[in-house]
Chains A and B, each alone.
Chain A
Amino acid sequence: MDTETQTTRRRARGSSEGADLELTGICKRFAEFIAVDQLDLVVPSGKFFALLGPSGCGKSTTLRMIAGLEAPSEGSISIGGQDVTELPSHKRPVNTVFQSYALFPHMSVLENVAFGLKRKKDREAMPKAKAALEMVELGHLATRKPAQLSGGQQQRVALARALVNRPQVLLLDEPLGALDMKLRRQMQLELKTIQTEVGLTFIHVTHDQEEAMTMADVVAVMNEGRIEQLGPPRELYELPRTAFVANFLGKSNLMRGTVSGQEDQLLSVDVAGNRILLPAARAVATEGEIMVGIRPEKLQISATEDTTAGMNRLDGIVKDASFTGTTTEYLIEVEGIGLIGTFAQNRGQQPGEMGQRVFLSWDPVHTFGLRGSESELAGVEEA
């Protein structure tokens, strides 16, 4: 982007501050089905917040309740300290970029963008709308009808139409879902840049974990109407607190074991006869049967045994090795545990072939511990 468009962008948006969004005890029931269950959430002003979860987890319903398009069965919503629970949609300082864009087909692109400003009786509706279109680099298509634009262009119009109103909170309902991969990546960067520049509170709903992680400051992983875990992307990835998060956000090797002792903040866990070390602070449960987890990329795979002291070690037979160019992905059958996935960077070596015995090792600090009562398959199918 050149500097001139940068300046137009800034001028188009001016300075506007986002506001804190607070959901307290939100429930949404449809007949017999509970879409959102006792949800408490605080989104601090100016953050890029992602609601991540599989379809049907209640993330879109939550967004619709914030927009006022759906009334919560229980609980309250406040924006910037003001209770908006009873406020109808058109009176809330919130704008939405819809999944289907929902552009008005009978209006020109410019009229679409000016719609919100005109409702607010803004005298400069047209110039502001034009500037907003320039901002998304669509100034030259102002007189077109939405049907005459490509998917990516429609997406930009939808974004301009929402942003031009400078809402306190901008809601994005899977706005990139309909775009192809390349355009999607490009728009992700665009959106992130715009958010940083305008400093508005963005709430982005998505089922794409990569999208959530690259864009958001804070991610809330939702499942079955509840928030499983909330935090910065790195924290969620490195230290998942539930099996669902461990599996939905990236991949994890989960193994069942029994805590056999503790020394120096390190739990030792007996996993099918192997002694696995785990920092006590990284475990949700520290007694009895627990689940031990390790991300595949943290594992070292080698044809010879690693004898460094204090490392976790397993060994097994290579069941599958698939070469992808930059890496080779392995599935290793470990006796008493099952299949463990890992991959090795292509540095010219070839640590193991099909049917060969290999040795796995990793630093205990990467291990995480989950409740033993969980299913190791939670979230696998949805991801």
Chain B
Amino acid sequence: MKQKLGRWIIPVLGGLAFVYLLVPIAYIFVYSFNDAGRTNLEWRGFTWSNWQNPCGAPAVCESLVNSLQIGLLATVIATALGTCVALGLVRYKFRFRNATDILIILPLATPEVVLGAALLAQFLNLGWELGFTTIVISHVVFCMAFVIVTVRARVSALDPRLEEAAADLYANPRTTFWKVTFPLLLPGIIAAAMLSFAMSFDDFIITNFNSGNVQTFPKFIYVAATRGIPAQANVIGSAMFLLALLVVIIAQIMSYRKRKALEKAQ
């Protein structure tokens, strides 16, 4: 009897945990098909119209485009700068390197409200108009910290002898970087960029301090929530979720195939 219970308890609890995790997402997905009226809170019947016309609700797509642009730009800048910092931190010895290491984690540890307010104070001091640029600058601040932490792990794992081997085989420092270092760091850099984009895309607190009149997707949802989120927002949320899921599945399939090929070869 006891054994039987033991055999069931883990799958049941595990299942419940999954349900707990997935219910909100399932809700968003299901209600993206709701034939909603003014609010999308109660079920009024199935429809494709939200998916056929995702930009139907006012300002949904403008805010989405803003968020995508900010996310891409902040990611590119943060990834490039962060990769350089990560390389420098691992490869070069300099005074206060350990202190620098800790300082880099600071934006991650600082509460977002504090960081947002602090950035706002700087922009006001400089007299800059809040908008697209200030959002990007703010996002680069915290995205870079994520990039540095992610890429640094990859750089530490990189065998410095590979770069020495390249130099030994007549590659100048620039060629060594592009032919050896960069390709080997690429998986880490891509992971960092994806993380960075995700962080930028859904940031609300820091953005809210520094965005002025510019509407980002999270800001739009936040404002819309007070008077009823349009079903189109559910469509965009679900599409994002499906896209992320697709990326994960493709990555899994690719690594599975690679492993099979390796096994086959040996």
Task: Tell me the A residues contacting B by CB distance below 8 Å.
Answer: 67-69, 88-91, 94-96, 98, 100, 102-106, 115-116, 119-120, 144, 147-148, 161-162, 165
Contact = CB atoms under 8 A, between A and B. Distances in A.
A148 B266 contact: yes
A238 to B, nearest CB: 37
A88 B169 contact: no
Contacts of A106: 183-184
Contact of B170 (A100, A102, A116): A116
Given A100-B161, A102-B162, A104-B180, A115 B265 contact: no
Contacts of A144: 265
A104 B165 CA distance: 9
B164 interface: yes
A148 B265 contact: yes
Interface of B: 159, 161-162, 164-173, 175-176, 179-180, 183-184, 262, 265-266
- Counting chain A CB atoms within 10 Å of each CB, the highest count among B161, B176, B183 belongs to B161
A92 to B, nearest CB: 8
Contacts of B184: 105-106
Contact of A90 (B159, B167, B265): B167
A35 B176 CA distance: 28
Given A100-B159, A106-B184, A147-B262, A69 B170 contact: no
Where chain B touches its partner, the secondary structure class is: helix
A175 to B, nearest CB: 13
Given A89-B164, A89-B167, A100-B161, A119 B175 contact: yes
- Counting chain A CB atoms within 10 Å of each CB, the highest count among B165, B168, B180, B262 belongs to B168
The 8 closest A-B pairs by CB, nearest first: A116-B169, A119-B170, A102-B165, A89-B167, A102-B161, A148-B265, A96-B168, A106-B183
Contacts of A89: 164, 167-168
B167 A88 contact: yes
30 contacts: A67-B164, A67-B168, A68-B168, A69-B168, A88-B167, A89-B167, A89-B168, A90-B172, A90-B176, A94-B168, A95-B169, A96-B168, A98-B165, A100-B159, A102-B162, A102-B164, A102-B165, A103-B165, A104-B162, A104-B165, A104-B166, A104-B180, A105-B162, A105-B184, A116-B169, A119-B170, A119-B171, A162-B169, A165-B169, A165-B170
A91 B179 CA distance: 17
A150 B169 CA distance: 23
- Counting chain A CB atoms within 10 Å of each CB, the highest count among B165, B172, B179, B180 belongs to B165
Contacts of B165: 96, 98, 102-104
Nearest to B183: A106
B266 A161 contact: no
A104 B173 CA distance: 16
Contacts of B170: 90-91, 116, 119-120, 165
A162 B265 CA distance: 25
A66 B165 CA distance: 14
Contacts of A69: 164, 167-168
Given A100-B161, A104-B166, 13 more contacts: A69-B164, A69-B168, A89-B167, A90-B170, A90-B176, A91-B170, A102-B161, A104-B162, A104-B180, A106-B184, A119-B170, A148-B262, A148-B266
Contact of B166 (A100, A115, A147): A115
Contacts of A165: 169-170
A120 B262 CA distance: 32
A104 B166 CA distance: 9
- Counting chain A CB atoms within 10 Å of each CB, the highest count among B161, B169, B180 belongs to B169
Contacts of A100: 159, 161
Contacts of A91: 170
Contacts of A98: 161, 164-165
B163 to A, nearest CB: 9
Nearest to B258: A145
Contacts of A162: 169
